Structure 1
Amino acid sequence: MTLRAATAHDLPAIQEIVEHAYSPYIERMGRPPGPMLDDYVKRIEREQVSVVEVDGRVGGLLVLIDQADHLLLDNIAMHPDFQGRGLGRQLMDFAEAEALRRGFGELRLYTHESMTENIAIYSKLGWEETGRALQAGFQRVFMRKVVSQDT
C-alpha cells in the first residue's frame, strides 16, 4: 500500500471511485451527492487530493482542505473492490496526522444526513456531531474531531 499525492494521471481512477462510492446515494438523496459534482482537476492542481494505491491500482482517495482554524476532510471514498481491508481507516489516520503536521488541532467534515452508515462510522471513530443544516442545497450533518499528539 502506498499513500501519495494524486496526480493528473490518477483522474480517471478518482472519477471511477467517486462514481462507485456515491452513485448508490442518488436515489436516497434525490440528486447526486456533492462529491460527484466536485472538480477533481482543480483539487489535484491545488494538491488537496491524496490517493491510496495497492498493487499499482488506486483504491481510495482523500480530499483535505486547509481552513482558517481547522483541516476540512472534504471527501473520503474507497472503490468497492478495496473496501473491508482497513484502507479507509488508514486514510482517516493519515488525515489526523496531516492535521497535526499542518498545525491544526481539529478536523471537520460534513456528510448528507441520509448517509447514515457514514455518520455511524465517523461516530465510532471518535467524531462528534456539531450540527445539522441546509448548505448548498444539501441537508448536511457537520462533525468534528479534536486531534492531538496523544490521539
Structure 2
Amino acid sequence: MPHKYLFRRATPDDADAIRELVHAAYAKWVDIIQREPLPMRTDYRQAVTAHRIDLLYDDDQLVALIEMIPAVDHLLIENVAVRPSAQGAGHGRLLMRHADLLAQSMGLPGVRLYTNALFTENIRFYRRLGYRVDREEPFLDGALVHMSKRV
C-alpha cells in the first residue's frame, strides 16, 4: 500500500511533539560533538511563531520536520529532523524538495543551510542534493559548514 504523505504548518500546540522529534533525531550527535546540538536547546513554542516549521506526516504519523526562515534573497533551512525509525525512507529528500518548492513559490533564487562540520553524513546528503559548500566558520568548539543551492 502506498504511503500517504501530508505536510502541515506547525502551531504552538505542536511544540512538545516538535521537541520530542528533534531530541530523538539529534541524539546520535551528542557523543560526537560532546554537547547537545543547538536544535535540542530551542524553545519551539517561540520558534513556531518566529519561523516556518512544516511537519511531515506519513500515514498519520509525525515522522519529520523542516524549520525555515525566509530572507530577502534566500530561504534559510534552520533545522531538518527525521525520526530515527523513519530515517532512510526518503523523508529527508522530501523535506528538502519541499524547501526548494517553497523558495520558488516565494520568488527566492536559492536555499541556504548550515550544519556542524562533524555531521559528515549530513554534508554528503546535502551535496547529493546539489548543495555546495560556501564557507566554514569556527563555532563553539568546532566549525559550521555553510551550504547553498540555487532553485
Return the TM-score normalized by structure 2.
0.91
Tell me the amino acid that sits aligned with residue 92 of structure 1. M
Tell me the amino acid that sits aligned with residue 90 of structure 2. G
Is 1:37–2:13 an aligned residue pair?
Answer: no
Corresponding residue to 1:94 among 74, 94, 98: 98
SS of the residue aligned with 1:77? strand
Is 1:118–2:122 an aligned residue pair?
Answer: yes
Corresponding residue to 1:130 among 128, 134, 139: 134
Query: Structure 1 stretches of 5 or more lacking a match?
Result: none
CA distance in 1, matches of 2:139, 2:120: 18
1:51 Cα deviation (Å)? 0.3
Corresponding residue to 1:77 among 72, 75, 81: 81
- Aligned CA RMSD, in angstroms, stands at 1.4
CA distance in 2, matches of 1:136, 1:51: 29
Partner of 2:69: 65
CA distance in 2, matches of 1:58, 1:40: 16
Give aligned-pair identity as a percent: 35
Aligned residues: 147
2:12–2:44 Cα contact (<8 Å) kept = no
CA distance in 1, matches of 2:41, 2:140: 12
1:36 Cα deviation (Å)? 1.0
Return the TM-score normalized by structure 1.
0.91
Q: Deviations along 1:112-141, whole A, 9 cap, x unmatched?
A: 000000000000111000010024665100
